[in-house]
């Protein structure tokens, strides 16, 4: 049993934070499922931009769709769904076996809708209907405008991966939006089982404070924020409010660790995977991190339900002049801006490829 399989046995789901047509065509994704206990997959605009840029795997599809009159976002979502529906079908057996707890893939709404609640709700419903896959999440950012969109989408029966969460408070807002959506479904006599995960971004905290933190605290802030958030997650699952919904047939919105690739070249390449081992959670990791952990990862102590030393560590960062509340808001805004930039670059790349392929005819 390799380390990824051991982590799976512990009760944590391992998802791949990557999608390319190449890993679908050559069987790599299936091998990860069979050999490394990978049970799900996430994507974002940057991942698709890099996949399309690297070679000609998408050229034929781009050319066909452009010839059919598609362009811009419409063309991209057709490309993305070709990949993600194939991936969803690979994970469907896991999805069925776990009763919908695992075996998910994720597609993000346009990042340009991050401040548009009504537009996000409409787009989430459209994309989920278009995919025709029960195990496809629609990613909605946990921004101020995204929170009501999450509640409404859950009420509408659209499974949601809440993205761009950076703090306990942002997580709690997303979790409460999920609970409200489920409570409204129960009150309306609808099925309370609608899948959701809440994605907390971890490593970006340590990148943000790399030149500000004392040496003894290097690469510790992201893990401390995760510990604090894990306590909030465990407290919610123990609450009377949740137990009432669970008794009615709802499934918990699971906590997902995102941005778990190590950014510091001097740190262990499995730092965040090893530190964030915890049952009933998900770790979605880049391909490089997955392979590193499968090769030499070690599982030590799991995250404590009570948050461990998170508050003491965060207090030390506060004393060093780092305001974690302000930084959480900054990181969420920077994440949104980064996805906006990737989205525009992605659409520009597709337009260039469309024009080049047409010119090549």
* Integer angstrom CA distances of residue 246 from 231, 236, 240, 278: 19, 12, 10, 21
270 half-sphere exposure, CB direction, 13 A CA radius: 16
Determine contact, residues 95/81, Cβ cutoff 8 Å.
Answer: no
Q: How many CB atoms lie within 10 A of CB 192?
A: 18
175/170 Cα distance (integer angstroms): 9
CA separation, residue 126 to residues 49, 121, 182, 188, 343 (Å): 22, 9, 20, 22, 19
Instruction: Look at residues 169, 168, 173 and name the one whose alpha carbon lies nearest to residue 140.
Output: 173
Helix (H, G, I), strand (E, B) or coil at 70: coil
Cβ count near 352 (within 10 Å): 12
Active-site residue flag, 266? no
* Count of C-beta atoms within a 10 Å radius of residue 171: 26
Q: Which of 30, 54, 130, 139 is catalytic?
A: 139
Active site residues: 139
């Amino acid at each position: 049993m390799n380390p990824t399989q051991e982590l799976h046995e512990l009760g944590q789901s391992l998802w791949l934070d990557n999608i390319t047509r190449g890993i679908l065509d050559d069987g790599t994704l299936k091998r990860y499922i069979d050999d490394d206990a990978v049970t799900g997959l996430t994507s974002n605009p940057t991942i698709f931009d890099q996949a399309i840029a690297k070679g000609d795997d998408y050229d034929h599809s781009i050319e066909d769709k452009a010839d059919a009159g598609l362009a811009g976002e419409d063309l991209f979502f057709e490309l993305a769904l070709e990949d993600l529906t194939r991936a969803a079908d690979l994970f469907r057996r896991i999805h069925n076996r776990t009763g919908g707890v695992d075996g998910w893939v994720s597609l993000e709404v346009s990042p340009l809708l991050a401040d548009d609640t009504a537009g996000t709700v409409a787009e989430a419903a459209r994309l989920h209907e278009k995919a025709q896959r029960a195990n496809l999440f629609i990613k909605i950012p946990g921004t101020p405008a995204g929170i009501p969109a999450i509640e409404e989408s859950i009420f509408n029966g659209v499974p949601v991966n809440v993205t761009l969460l950076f703090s306990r408070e942002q997580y709690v807002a997303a979790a409460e939006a999920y609970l409200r959506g489920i409570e409204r479904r129960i009150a309306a006599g609808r099925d309370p089982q609608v899948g959701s995960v809440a994605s907390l971004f971890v490593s970006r905290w340590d990148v943000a404070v790399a030149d500000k933190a004392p040496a003894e605290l290097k690469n510790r802030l992201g893990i401390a924020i995760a510990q604090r958030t894990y306590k909030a997650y465990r407290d919610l699952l123990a609450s009377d409010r949740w137990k009432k919904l669970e008794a009615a047939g709802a499934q918990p919105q699971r906590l997902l660790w995102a941005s778990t690739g190590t950014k510091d070249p001097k740190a262990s390449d499995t730092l965040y995977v090893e530190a964030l081992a915890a049952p009933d959670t998900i770790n979605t990791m880049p391909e490089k991190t997955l392979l590193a952990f499968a090769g030499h990862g070690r599982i030590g102590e799991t995250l404590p339900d009570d948050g461990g030393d998170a508050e003491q560590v965060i207090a030390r960062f506060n004393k060093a002049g780092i305001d974690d509340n302000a930084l959480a808001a900054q990181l969420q805004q920077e994440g949104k801006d980064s996805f906006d930039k990737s989205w525009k670059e992605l659409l520009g790349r597709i337009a260039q490829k469309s024009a080049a392929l047409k010119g090549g005819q």
